[in-house]
Structure 1
Amino acid sequence: MTATCDLIFRQAKIFDGTGATPHLADVAVTGERVVALGEKLPHQARTEIDAAGLALAPGFIDVHTHDDRAVIATDMAAKLSQGVTTVVVGNCGISLAPLRAKGEVVPPLDLIAKGEHELFERFADYFEAVEAAGTTVNVTCLVGHTTLRLATMDRLDRPATRAECARMRDLLDQALADGAIGLSTGLYYQPANAASTAEVIAVAEPLAKYSAIYTTHLRDEADHLLEAMEEAFAIGREADAPVVLSHHKATDPQNHGRTRVSLPIIEKRAREQPVTLDVYPYAASSTVLEAKRAGQVERILITWSKARPDLAGKTLDVIARELGVSREEAVAKLQPAGAVYFTMDEEDVRRVLQFPLTMVGSDGLPHDVRPHPRLWGTFPRVLGHYARDIGLFGMEEAVRRMTALPAARFGLAQRGVIRQGAYADLVLFDPETIQDKATFDDPTQLSAGIRSVYVNGSLAWSEGKAAGPRAGKVLRNRDLVAKNFTAAFA
């Protein structure tokens, strides 16, 4: 008897997410799920796709994003166009909740919220807003430690008091109960830099109760990288929570090559406690424009400026010459602003990418006027440039770093794999032509080779544009089958 289904891909080259050798097969989808996978399925479908010569993979999971507001305000073309079907928001210590509006939004929170009306007092309110807007991708969320500090402290230039830690702890507990999956810190940034290790440990106490995760933009990614790593490991141990080191790197020329030291340490710690990391495939970072970096970094590209939006896309040196001022004075005239910093070494990037525990995250800033190209190009760049062209690893391994590995790390049950019963988050692409096209000069170009993208069984991207219903979901902690996040690291 011939079975029926909604959608079937015929003779696709299947990268199932596990790292297994790709094979030709048909994949049948009904509703939100994959219902069959086989060499020649007898199914009849309302929609049949001849996928000969194309690759079919699980939708990519972007583990490090700042798409908190973008999932509400945009169609997420920057991510769908790369094959991304799930985003983790709330990274680097900043989230849109839980924070009652109370005046001007301060850096780095202004990277994701331009006004107080975009903040939410409770995570339940934020999740309701995402669902009311209709998200085109799946969304799961971390609670920002910086946001917690802003919600509870009158001054941010000191460690929190015991009472303030207790209040932050209560807010975190409520956010996790509402469905957030963990806590993130951005200890590098001024609003959180004064926080002590003891403060973070005290605030993080509820993580174990909810089997939640701890992710961190380290306190230092330059001269004191190793010490900052040890701080993160200590917080994870005390909180009994898995640790994710965000966008692992070694910045500034004197530290180039230091990943030769940091990665073996991570490997050793991962045998003792649940530890992993993510990386973006570029040798330049992007964040707020800081005066202290003006004299340290040779090449700085301005991505946005509230005071001088006309200067976005120019280097700091060019702007300083045009204004007839020093670099430091130019920074002051641009504030508040964002920038790309060219401070990393390509060999370090490749070394981190090759590391077996590494996941892929874009760390893109969707509201920048001239964003870092990682916002639009990260995942095709790994597949095309680093896997196919450079040969850092096979394409099946590249797909695993973007799918099954992050799904296990973040407890995203039945996602990140192509198998019967899994959610039909799928990307159809040409393995011969997939490639990032976004550049620092033209950062919003669509990548090549992505044919179509499906979110929970619905067509979300086709022919170079968003398509179909907004079929994404909010993935709450309580909805995830892998409640024991620690076991996912085994």
Structure 2
Amino acid sequence: MHYDVILRHGELIDGTGAARYSADLGVLGERIAAIGDLSRDTADTVIDAQGQIVAPGFIDSHTHDDAFVLSDPSVEPKICQGVTTVIAGNCGISLAPLCADREVPQPLDLLGAWQAFRFPSFAAYLDALDAEPAAVNTVPLVGHSTLRVRHMADLRREANAQEIAAMAADVRESMAAGAYGVSSGTFYPPAAAATQQELIDVFAPLRETGGVFATHLRDETAQIMDSLEEAFAIGRALDVRVVLSHHKVAGKENHGRSRQTLARIDVQRTQQPLCLDCHPYPATSTMLRADRIHQSSRVMLAWSKPHPELAGRDFHELLPMFGGSVDSTIEALSPAGAIYFVMDERDVERIFRHEMTMVGSDGLPNDTRPHPRLWGTFPRVLGEFSRTRSLFPLETAVRKMTGLTAEQFGIEGRGHLVVGNYADLVVFDPERVIDRATFAEPTLRPEGIAHVFVNGRAVLTHAQPTGSRPGRALRRSQDMMYAVKANMSASFTSPEHA
């Protein structure tokens, strides 16, 4: 038989967690057409994958790429890591539905300038992705904070009944358009005044449609246990899966508490579907905030609108320039973003070892000096966490960035090497793959990622971008909605993590 592409002699890791095995893989059109001995078959493109791993394309479970896939559709920071699908709209921040006519409040500006918010409906955003495809697929979530900005003049209070009804209508439209779920970020000012009941009422359409509820917890520091309980309660009220975004225990006084949070998660996931994502760094990045500064051992300025020349500098080195106090310096630099060294490496490792932890970069592509997670997350998990630190086998690492994520978000036809699935594929060297991006040089490309295919077309060949843009706006089908709802109880798992 003749194929479009044959990957010969590779070691296949299929995304299920099963042991690798030797086989050829044939691609025809946009699908995986054959797996096995294809030595007698031909192809337009034949790649010798001897000594290489062939895996499903990586799925970035936590991104803020909503606008990036439109403004820079080559999406090089992602394809160079082997990422073929990004999940956007996290932390309550989605690009749609919102038409802005002025500056948007932080942290919505993490997605880009206010002019990027130009979509009156969620369907219009997905149509724009169809019209101008990116190199990667996009799985969209609709954000609660974006809905508040759209419908509320005063964000400092709880939403009233009329505003809740308007936001719920947007959720209903978004889910009908193909959104995979919703997200919240009550940690941030635009949604800090929202109550648990407001979130339940705004997201009420999910009771009929299903989907996921991804949440940046209200507090990841001293009150993290209460914040977990709030997330669990919202998920139960909506009868949907809860995704605990970038799970962490932040602040020096909370280091080590991941034992407590993971134990609580394990108990609760026998009662309701839960999962979490994490990136492999002890530092996080978001808008410039006093509370985060006080909780951190070090703070680096990632960007500043009034002072772009100071990006990359240590925040505390800048204090004498702006009156000497944290508050006066924040006022002078804002709007701005920063990188916070706020976590303990042992907590990060412990969270990553959890069987329900997916890999999510949480990268911010618009930062002047971005966190290295934007360019390094996935090869760092493969090279540093799996190969060097031996936190888990390579098969487990691949599962955390492929099959597990596809299963938890309900992404059909991706995340596993199966005949008939879409040919989202990555070929990498298990002995060489590693991140090179650092906090000092955050945009260095990784090593060891050789080939990447999206929907059967090469977007990276011999570690070089091809310029091809075969990605799609993925839409959650109505059939998938009801299938997931019908099988919710079967998805509960008994905790095995210690």
TM-score > 0.5 by shorter chain:
yes
In the alignment, residue 160 of structure 2 is paired with which amino acid?
A: T
Partner of 2:365: 366
Does structure 1 retain, via aligned residues, the 8 Å contact 2:99–2:117?
no
> Does 1:455 find its partner at 2:454?
yes
Does structure 2 retain, via aligned residues, the 8 Å contact 1:13–1:22?
yes
Structure 2 SS opposite 1:477: coil
In the alignment, residue 191 of structure 1 is paired with which amino acid?
A: P
Partner of 2:140: 141
Pick from 34, 53, 69 the counterpart of residue 71 of structure 1. 69
Q: 2-side partners of 1:38 and 1:296: how far apart?
A: 53
**What stretches of structure 1 of length at least 5 have no aligned partner?**
none
Partner of 1:353: 352
Does structure 1 retain, via aligned residues, the 8 Å contact 2:358–2:400?
yes
**What stretches of structure 2 of length at least 5 have no aligned partner?**
493-498
Q: 2-side partners of 1:435 and 1:268: how far apart?
A: 35
Partner of 2:439: 440
Q: 1-side partners of 2:180 and 2:167: how far apart?
A: 16
Does structure 2 retain, via aligned residues, the 8 Å contact 1:77–1:465?
no
Does structure 2 retain, via aligned residues, the 8 Å contact 1:413–1:482?
no
Partner of 2:465: 466
Q: 1-side partners of 2:368 and 2:336: how far apart?
A: 10
CA deviation string 1:224-249 (max 9, x = no partner): 00100000000000011110000000
Partner of 1:246: 245
The alpha-carbon deviation at position 104 of structure 1 amounts to 1.3
Does structure 1 retain, via aligned residues, the 8 Å contact 2:101–2:115?
yes
Partner of 2:25: 27
Partner of 2:14: 16
Partner of 2:125: 126
- List aligned pairs for 1:83-102, cutoff 5 A: 83-102=82-101
Partner of 2:383: 384
Structure 2 SS opposite 1:26: strand
Does structure 2 retain, via aligned residues, the 8 Å contact 1:218–1:229?
yes
Partner of 2:495: none
The alpha-carbon deviation at position 465 of structure 1 amounts to 3.1
Partner of 1:215: 214
- List aligned pairs for 1:276-425, cutoff 5 A: 276-323=275-322, 325-425=324-424
Percent of residue pairs identical: 47
CA deviation string 1:105-144 (max 9, x = no partner): 1100000031234331101111111122211100010000
Partner of 2:57: 59
Which aligned runs of 4 or more in structure 1 are off by greater than 4 angstroms? Answer: 479-483
CA deviation string 1:13-68 (max 9, x = no partner): 11111111111110000000011001444321111111101110000000100000
Q: 1-side partners of 2:356 and 2:403: how far apart?
A: 12
Structure 1 SS opposite 2:243: strand
Structure 1 SS opposite 2:172: helix
The alpha-carbon deviation at position 290 of structure 1 amounts to 1.2
Q: 2-side partners of 1:24 and 1:98: how far apart?
A: 46
Q: 2-side partners of 1:463 and 1:318: how far apart?
A: 42
CA deviation string 1:186-216 (max 9, x = no partner): 0100100100000000011111221211000
Q: 2-side partners of 1:296 and 1:362: how far apart?
A: 22
Pick from 40, 43, 52 the counterpart of residue 41 of structure 2. 43
Structure 1 SS opposite 2:291: helix
- List aligned pairs for 1:239-278, cutoff 5 A: 239-278=238-277
1:450 to 1:482, Cα distance in 2 relative to 1, 3 A:
farther
